[in-house]
Amino acid sequence: MNTGSLILVSAPSGAGKTSLVKSVLEADPDIVVCVSHTTRAMREGERNGENYYFIEDTEFDQMIDDGAFLEHADVFGKRYGSSRREVDRCRADGKDVILEIDWQGADQVRGMLADALSIFILPPSMTELEKRLHGRGQDSASAIQRRLAEAKTDMAQATRYDYLLVNEDFKRTQQDLLAIIQSTRLRRERQVQRSEVAKLLR
């Protein structure tokens, strides 16, 4: 049984994490993102079970009590959590699983799963980050200033990650992210799970 890797990807808002993860999913069918649970309202165009599992606070509380989450957090007043069962199912299928989570969530996962690999994506500069946040057209000026302040807090934790990627050139950063994930497949513990390798090593 070839068990997939668990890859934790964190970044400040506006660094390009979501676009990068989407691009590697499109490039490699053996990489998946496990669908998280959230208590926030479903947005236009989203689908339950595809973008998130949209649940009520009472159900979220019950999942916490049941120990169902690898990690969970409150973000801007809404709650998000990564299901242990969902992650285990994907990994058991041999898929490499990406969790897009903040640094606090990454700490929670590392505390339970020592084999989790962590990657932090940085912007080229704070000036460029502010430019990107304005360019999205999603936030008010005050919200952007709040996100910039939070970005500094987030980036202060970056040195605790296994890999740091500076997203200056999107294509190059995507290639670097794919290379890191591919390298996990060549680790001894992954390779010896493959039947053809196991035969050679007997």
Domains and CATH numbers, the chain: 6-34+95-200 (3.40.50.300)
What average pLDDT does the chain have? 90
Confidence grade of residue 137 (pLDDT, cut at 50, 70, 90)? confident
Region 27-48: mean pLDDT is 91
> What is d(CA 95, CA 87) in angstroms, rounded to the nearest whole number?
10
- The pLDDT, as a whole number, for residue 22 is 94
Give percent of the chain above pLDDT 90: 61
Closest by CA to 117, choosing from 129, 101, 133, 130, is 101
Region 78-93: mean pLDDT is 91
User: 25-39, 91-105, 135-149 — which is least confidently predicted?
Assistant: 135-149
Beta strands in the chain (DSSP E): 6-10, 31-33, 37-38, 53-54, 69-75, 78-83, 96-100, 117-122, 163-166
- The pLDDT, as a whole number, for residue 171 is 97
> What is d(CA 16, CA 25) in angstroms, rounded to the nearest whole number?
14
- The pLDDT, as a whole number, for residue 195 is 66
For 13-23, write each residue's pLDDT tens digit.
889 999 999 99
Neighbouring CB atoms inside 10 A of 178's CB total: 16
Confidence grade of residue 191 (pLDDT, cut at 50, 70, 90)? confident
For 120, the token pair is 């932090």
* Residue 176 half-sphere exposure toward CB, CA atoms < 13 A: 15
Give percent of the chain above pLDDT 70: 99
- The pLDDT, as a whole number, for residue 135 is 83
